[in-house]
Structure 1
Amino acid sequence: MDQSYPARSGHDGGVLSTGERALYVVAGLVMAAAAAKPRPNPLLNVLSLGAGAYLAWRGAEGSCPVKAMLTDGRV
């Protein structure tokens, strides 16, 4: 049986360190808090809230698909 992808045992391509996790959570919460400021375009509020919540969630979870893609070459 021919495998075109190597086994992923023990590889932690997208795992965030404790410092990175803290940075993700803080940056996400700051971005989400910026969404509370009234803006002329409410779409900016929604985008800022969504992006901030996503960053905080990835930091709390401890993994990042973008980091995995950059360090490992695949998701």
Structure 2
Amino acid sequence: MKLKTECHEANHICDKNQYKEATFLEKVRLNIHLIYCRACRKYSMRNSKLTKAVNNPTVQTVSTSEKEVMKQRLQEQLNSSNS
């Protein structure tokens, strides 16, 4: 049983884990690797944030009327800078 994992393997396991495809042994190997590898810990944290953002999107859109106001202000700014 091989517990030592290289970074490229750990990143691959991390990606599999994100989609719930990693086996128990892979998860153990990943966690052991994350204990001593700061770069992979950062990669794993970013992956977790990405997964949470995708699963729970909190995107707020601008209404059509607000877009029109923004367009008008932009056009006014462009016109005043060209004068």
TM-score of the superposed pair, with normalisation by structure 1: 0.37
Higher helix share: 2
Larger Rg: 2
TM-score of the superposed pair, with normalisation by structure 2: 0.34
Greater RCO between the two (CA within 8 Å, min separation 6)?
1
